Amino acid sequence: MSIEQLAETAQAMVARGKGIIAIDESTSTIKKRFDSVGIENIEENRRAYREMLLTTPKLGDHVSGAILFDETLRQKTADGTPFVEVMKKAGVIPGIKVDKSTHPLAGCPGEVITEGLDGLRDRLKEYYRLGARFAKWRAVINIGDDIPSGTCIEANSHALARYAALCQEQGLVPMVEPEVIMDGSHDIQTCYEVTEAVLRSLFGALYEQNVMLEGTILKASMVVSGKDCPEQADVEEVAEATLMCLKSTVPAILPGIVFLSGGQSDEKATAHLDAMNRIGNLPWPLSFSYGRAMQSAALRIWAQDMKANVARAQETVYARARDNGLAALGQWPG
Ligand code: 13P
């Protein structure tokens, strides 16, 4: 795979006014989402739910790609069309979550490491064959008393970089996601310092593993106050701190940065992205790769009647895509 092709895919992922919908919840994560609205976590419900999302009319107007879970990449609509075909027709690039989730990091209490490197080359070969053109790997960094440790940051950066190099070898654009978790009572300054250390370490590791940044997308967490911090930074402060942190750590050659929502409300996730793009004057496009902040409203509607409410749920998906697409241009609410 040439770097030109990888770069082309990466640029298409962050095309003007477009972002990514993350629907790559593992079977255990989707159970939590389904439990919250009283839906049984069986394969047919997962398939029907993802069909509702992926067949949203005009999804491709504001969505460039969708991240799927292994099971979803292999599924079809009720009329037998592979999801991948539906996506290609809609102009939505298929992506695949390839990590095998987080596990306790031995020797580092309270910290986790993302696993999934063993056998990854063969899995990537198959995913490419099935139609995926980009991949995602999520590392998790917790903030707390005396954490994160340098050991945890370095171990996760190393894994992200090994994953990214393997993706590029197999023709998939790696989306590298080091998520600094919002849980905790820390202030925004602490989040800034941790995020800065994590991104410095990540880009050092990517360099060491010969990852081509032109064919890589960063999925970043925003610099925010901890959920339980008594002093909550406002939208402007979050936008300014996040931009400062990214500008001091992320090389300009990267094709783009997308954000996770991480438990922010729908409105906040959109407002933060919009505020950053209004400040503007940045070396890379900034867009969204939201999971919960794209889906939660639609899931609630769909759960009330999984057949009759499909169109109404899809209208909500479209509205969230449109809002976040405008925010990616600094033009929300339009
Ligand atoms: P959230 O936007 O719900 O944080 O999910 C994005 C994601 O893909 C996390 O890995």
Report whether residue 261 contacts ligand 1, using a CB cutoff of 6 Å.
yes
Tokens of 125: 């070969």
167 alpha carbon to ligand 1 midpoint, in Å?
A: 20
Looking at the DSSP bridge assignments, the partners of residue 258 are 219, 287
Calpha distance 216→256 (Å, rounded): 8
Q: Are 272 and 222 in contact (CB under 8 A)?
A: yes
CA angle 67, 203, 258 (to 5 degrees): 35
Using the 8-state DSSP alphabet, how is residue 181 labeled?
A: P
Choose which residue among 33, 292, 320 to substitute to test ligand 1 binding: the one with the highest number of ligand atoms within 8 A of its C-beta. Answer: 292
State how beta strands 286-290 and 112-114 pair. Answer: unpaired
pLDDT digits (tens, 9 = 90+) for 304-313: 999 999 999 9
23 alpha carbon to ligand 1 midpoint, in Å?
A: 8
- ipTM above threshold 0.95: no
Q: Which of 219, 227, 231, 247 is catalytic?
A: 219
177 is catalytic: yes
Q: How confident is the model at residue 54 (pLDDT cuts 50, 70, 90)?
A: very high
231 is catalytic: no
pLDDT digits (tens, 9 = 90+) for 121-166: 999 999 999 999 999 999 999 999 999 999 999 999 999 999 999 9
Q: Are 209 and 165 in contact (CB under 8 A)?
A: yes
145 alpha carbon to ligand 1 midpoint, in Å?
A: 25
